[in-house]
Structures are given as structure tokens and as C-alpha cells.
Amino acid sequence: FPKYMEQMKGIPAKYKDRYFVSNSVGDTVQGSHSRAIHSVHHSSAIERGFILLVNGLIFCKGESKANSSRKILERDLYRLLNRVDDAIPEAPPSQGTQRAAKSHQYRPGTQSDTLTPNADALLEQCVHWDYFIKEKATEENFPSQTLEEGDMVYSMGPRSAIEIGREQIIYFCANILGEEPDPSMLREVQEDIEEVEEQTASM
């Protein structure tokens, strides 16, 4: 479990005793090694791209919190995903609908004729895989906006932090936008790393 995430307020307790097996092969900030692995299988490449995209939207468009985390409202996430690919619905599924029921039925490789995944189902599956954290929006964890009944928020999950990392996500976003990585974001990541190293050294 990433050290900097242990200190984040609101991290679900289930992650405290969870362990992940990580590929320790070094990678570039562009993720060359990761792309080489996941580009072999069509469905895996789509999943990986989707995970990178959602993390990019969370990190670059989500609201920054005092504990270095970033969160984004589910309805804002869907709106942004729809701008990237209009085949993705503009709003999340309403509870009790057939679409909501199908969001728990993700089957890899069942949409091989299109590059657009079932976003509802893949988002839920990625929460199950620990790539994202999904929680109910409250005035405590998302005080900056007027919330609606049933609002949910997404943030980066521990598996994304371990397998991808915030630095690679920043470079990914910059590459898509054709810009240089945001120095303030890179500095924030580096400060977290240095803080963890200092705490580890003092133990």
C-alpha cells in the first residue's frame, strides 16, 4: 500500500491490510514497458487506456484536497469522458434502471468490434480491482460544490498509485494535450516522495 496514501483521510479501512504484487521492472515516465505488455491483448489495451484516462481526469480535472488526494464527482467524470468519446454516456446510470444493473456485469473482450468499452461496467470493475476509490459524496469529502442526492466521487486507488503512479499520469495528460508537464504537479508528487523518505529514515 503506498505510504503517502496511508495518511489520507477517508481512505477505506479495507486497504490498510491489503497487499499488492507489483511488477518491479523499471519503466519510463511515458509507460513504454506497460504499453508493451498491455498492447498484446486488445481488451487489455483498452482497459489500460481507460484506466489511464480516468486517472488523468481525476488528477488534472478533479479537486485537490489538503492531503494530496484529488477527487472528482461521478457526474463530472462522465461529462468529461463523453467529451473524449461521445459513445460514452454523458451522465452516470440512475439507480434502479436496467443500465445500472448492467454496470455490475463487466466481461472483458465482449466489445471487440469497438474501441469504446462499457464505461459503466468497466468503472465498477476498476473499483473492484482497486484502481479507483468510489465513495458517497458528502459535505466533508467534497465541500466545494452543491451536492445532489446520490452523488458519488472517484479518486485514485492504491493499485493505480502502485502500477502507474502520479508522475506517469501527469506525463500522460501532458502528452495528450501536447504540452509540457505541469511543474507544480510534479513538485507536489516529489514533495510527497521526500516526505515519505524522511519519515522512513526517522523510524
What residue type is 143 in one-letter code?
P
pLDDT over 90 for what percent of the chain?
Answer: 30
pLDDT greater at residue 71 or residue 8: 71
Q: What is the mean pLDDT of residues 150-167?
A: 90
pLDDT tops 80 at residue 190: yes
The answer to whether the beta carbons of residues 104 and 175 sit under 8 Å apart is: no
The answer to whether the beta carbons of residues 34 and 160 sit under 8 Å apart is: no
pLDDT tops 80 at residue 202: no
**Residue 107: what pLDDT?**
72
**Residue 100: what pLDDT?**
87
- On average, the pLDDT of the chain sits at 81
The answer to whether the beta carbons of residues 166 and 156 sit under 8 Å apart is: yes
**Residue 66: what pLDDT?**
62
pLDDT tops 90 at residue 133: yes
pLDDT tops 90 at residue 120: yes
The answer to whether the beta carbons of residues 142 and 153 sit under 8 Å apart is: yes
pTM given for the model: 0.80
**Residue 88: what pLDDT?**
95
List pLDDT tens digits, range 48-86.
889 999 999 998 888 877 656 789 999 999 999 999 999
List pLDDT tens digits, range 14-51.
777 777 777 666 666 556 655 565 554 557 778 888 99
**Residue 141: what pLDDT?**
85
Task: Please state, as a whole number, how many other Cβ atoms lie within 10 Å of the Cβ of residue 105.
Answer: 12
Task: Work out the angle at residue 84's Cα, subtended by the Cα atoms of residues 52 and 33, and round it to the nearest 5 degrees.
Answer: 25
The whole-angstrom separation of Cα 203 and Cα 201 is: 6
**Residue 13: what pLDDT?**
75
Extract the C-alpha cell encoding 102.
448492467
Q: Read off the pLDDT band of 130 (50, 70, 90).
A: very high
Extract the C-alpha cell encoding 59.
488528477
3-state per-residue secondary structure call for the chain: CCHHHHCCCCCCHHHCCCCCCCCCCCCCCCCHHHHHHHCCCHHHHHHHHHHHHHHHHHHHHCEECCCCCEEEEHHHHHHHHHHHCCCCCCCCCCCCCHHHHHCCCCCCCCCCCCCCCCHHHHHHHHHHCCCEEEEECCCCCCCCCCCCCCCEEEEECHHHHHHCCHHHHHHHHHHHHCCCCCHHHHHHHHHHHHHHHHHHHCC
Q: What is the mean pLDDT of residues 140-166?
A: 89
The answer to whether the beta carbons of residues 180 and 174 sit under 8 Å apart is: yes
